[in-house]
Amino acid sequence: MKYVLLISDDETRSPSNEEMDADPVHQAWEADLKRRGAERLGVRLRPVASATTVRVRDGETLVSDGPFAETKDFVGGVVLIECADLDEAIAIAAGHSYARWGGVEIRPVWE
Amino acid sequence: MTADAATVRAAVDAAYRDEWGQVVAVLIGLTRDWDLAEDCAQEAFATALTAWRRDGVPDRPGAWLTTTARRRATDRLRRDAAGRAKLRQLAVLAREPDESAAEEIPDERLRLIFTCCHPALPFEARVALTLRTLAGLSTAEIARAFLTAETTMAQRIVRAKRKIADAGIPYRVPPAELLPERLASVLAVLYLIFNEGYGEHDASRALTAEAIHLARVLARLLPDEPEPRGLLALMLLHEARRATRVDDGVLVPLERQDRSRWDRALIDEGVAVLDDALALRRGGPYQVQAAIAACHATAPGPEGTDWPQIAALYAELARLAPSPVVELNRAVAVAMADGIPAGLALVDELTASGRLDGYHLLPATRADLLRRDGHTAEARAAYEEALRLAPSEPDRRYLTGRLNAL
């Protein structure tokens, strides 16, 4: 099964990439992903202040500043994994450092 | 060797109760298709009605039903190309089952129950799916039991099955490291089914009986886990007192229940099951609750009850599974063990904390303690408050009776 992990939080912590790389929890997560051979794609997103949303209504393109929906938590990273089942995806998601203060949404890929 | 209609009907009914979950579980295991599994199980039971009249009731009805359902599934899959492709993948299904073989089919229900109770499903859906696929209740029956529209219930079950397939919820017994968390979900589902039936004030035993049946299966399939037995014991001990809980539509409190009408056989079994659980020496909230229920069920009367022991058990329960309702029950036990002022002090603490605001049993408990201690005016005010909050008619009738007797 393929799943996308949406790594989310409210951006109050916002560690830099260097801080993330130095975080032992994040290192353990990376090592776990490698051991499982699960990661297909992984990207970190810039904070939501840099987001732009596009909608087309009645043929008119509407561009707005900010994310698609105003919520408490924002997607800060996207990881595509391939693993056996939802239980393995849960195990992987639970190991991500953001799971401790934000949350990780698991979405099965529609194939 | 023909059999008469009544014998066959009884045999099919018994098999439905005992084997439905197993037949469905085996078929899901083979096909991974929940709807196909249910349809084929249904057809196998329908076929049994005529086949068993003609040929007699088989020695092992469960094996007969599983084999028949499995053949149905194979036939249905052969009908179209997609099914035939699936059959080739499922080599095990394509193999012709051998009815005469003594090969025992392992009990597959454990995989099914853990999948039905997976935490990625909404709790209500876990309950509905368990009753549908394991206990074999119809969607209409489940909807009636939960006072929900049948279409709503049907949709809930369809969505849950779809999520199992789409999200890749595995069909398996969870590995050891996940077992405690996952087992807690299964136990909570079974206990909710039991309580839903227990709260019924009519004579229908359907849901409590289903919950007890499923708890028996679970306890047998997980012999090294103490909590399923603790839950089974708790259900048996509650069920033993069920007939005496309500009299003529009025709730009867424990101390006034007619103990001669408690079901001794269920109490003895409950105590024996609890002893087996405790022998495993790993405590848990269901075992503690069963121990409390056992104290009540085996006491000769309210005075002969071991209240210090019950108070200690509630303290243990509050440690294992903290909740303000447990604290309230502990307060009652403390009042009985150490005197009413000690219990009232705990109730007042709870009231001040605001954690049980709006819960009618808080003022009702306070009223009972005040009445016993001779504070009639305060008791009256507390009963009146409880009456305003009471959710059900039997509760209100009981409180009105108390108020009038002051």
Q: Is B169–A86 a contact, with Cβ atoms under 8 angstroms apart? A: yes
Q: Which residue of A lies nearest to B118 if distances are taken between CA atoms? A: A87
Q: How crowded is residue B119: how many other Cβ atoms within 10 Å of its Cβ?
A: 14
- The distance of Cα B237 from the centroid of its chain, to the nearest Å, equals 13
| Chain B residues closer than 8 Å to A92 by CB | none
Label residue B90 by pLDDT band (50, 70, 90).
confident
Residue among B378, B371, B400 at smallest CA distance from B388: B400
Amino acid letter for position B204: S
> Domains in chain A, ordered, with CATH?
2-108 (3.30.70.1060)
**pLDDT one-digit tens code per residue, B39-69:** 999 999 999 999 999 999 999 999 999 999 9
**pLDDT one-digit tens code per residue, B260-316:** 999 999 999 999 999 999 999 999 999 999 999 999 999 999 889 999 999 999 999
- Most confident among A55-59, A66-70, B143-147, B228-232 (mean pLDDT): B228-232
User: Do residues B396 and B390 make contact, with C-beta atoms less than 8 angstroms apart?
Assistant: yes
**pLDDT one-digit tens code per residue, B186-212:** 999 999 999 988 876 554 557 899 999
User: Do residues A102 and B189 make contact, with C-beta atoms less than 8 angstroms apart?
Assistant: no
DSSP assignment of B189-217: HHHHHHHHHHT--SS--HHHHHHHHHHHH
Distance CA B50, CA B44 (A): 10
Q: How crowded is residue B286: how many other Cβ atoms within 10 Å of its Cβ?
A: 29
**Lowest mean pLDDT segment, chosen from B92-106, B165-179, B308-322:** B92-106
Whose structure tokens read 């096909």?
B31
DSSP B312: H
ipTM: 0.88
Helices (H), A5-101: 17-22, 24-36, 86-94
- Closest by Cβ to A1, choosing from B118, B168, B178: B168
Mean pLDDT of chain B: 91
Interface test with B, best of A81, A85, A105, A109 (most B CBs within 10 A): A85
- Nearest CA distance, B168 vs chain A (angstrom): 5
User: Do residues A38 and A82 make contact, with C-beta atoms less than 8 angstroms apart?
Assistant: yes
Distance CA B229, CA B223 (A): 8
**pLDDT one-digit tens code per residue, B350-368:** 999 999 999 999 999 999 9
User: Do residues B208 and B197 make contact, with C-beta atoms less than 8 angstroms apart?
Assistant: yes
The predicted pLDDT at position B95 comes to: 63
Helices (H), B5-138: 5-31, 34-55, 61-78, 81-89, 91-94, 109-116, 123-129
| Chain A residues closer than 8 Å to B120 by CB | 86, 90
**pLDDT one-digit tens code per residue, B94-144:** 566 555 444 556 789 999 999 999 999 999 999 999 999 999 999 999 998
Q: Is B169–A84 a contact, with Cβ atoms under 8 angstroms apart? A: no
User: How many CB pairs below 8 Å do chains A and B form together?
Assistant: 23
